[in-house]
Amino acid sequence: MPQLQLSSVIIATHDKARQKIFYHDVLGIPFNAQGKLESAGVVIHPALHSAVQGPPAEPHRIMLTFAVADIHAAAAELRARGVVFVRAPEQEHWGGWLATFLDPDGNYLQLIQLL
């Protein structure tokens, strides 16, 4: 079996510019040398798709998860930037912490603080 390495995530949207602004300006994801949003080597690619309108029917299906050292501080900073949380930071049974928030299209994203 070949070793698979995740290189990018496509986020289908009807408003590519709005998604780029959110991921770059609000979340702080930098642009790489090719002008693509990139976090920890993974390209986040907002892409126009004519079949996408409104919030996703099942926002739990796939979630981008961003690791942070202090979930409470990160959540507070994102709230101050206008990010809407659907789940406040909460400790999981395995010891780590999770918080869930929305991007402009209503996709679920998560913060994670490991043990």
Q: State how many domains the chain has.
A: 2
Same domain, 36 and 67: no
CA nearest neighbour of 110 among 59, 55, 66, 61? 66
Same domain, 75 and 96: yes
Q: Does residue 115 lie within any of the structural domains?
A: yes
Same domain, 82 and 63: yes
- Name the pLDDT band for 115 (thresholds 50, 70, 90): confident
Cα distances from 84 to residues 81, 99, 101, 105, 108, in angstroms, run 9, 11, 6, 12, 10
Q: Does residue 1 lie within any of the structural domains?
A: no
Tell me which of 20 and 49 has the higher pLDDT: 20
How does pLDDT run across 72-91, given as a tens digit for each residue? Answer: 999 999 999 999 999 999 99
Torsion angles phi and psi, residue 20, rounded to 5: -60, -45
Same domain, 68 and 115: yes
Same domain, 77 and 31: no
Domain enclosing residue 29, as ranges: 6-50
**What confidence score (pLDDT) does residue 40 get?**
93
DSSP label of 94: T
Q: Is the per-residue pLDDT at 24 higher than 90?
A: yes
How does pLDDT run across 27-62, given as a tens digit for each residue? Answer: 999 999 999 999 999 999 999 988 888 888 898 899
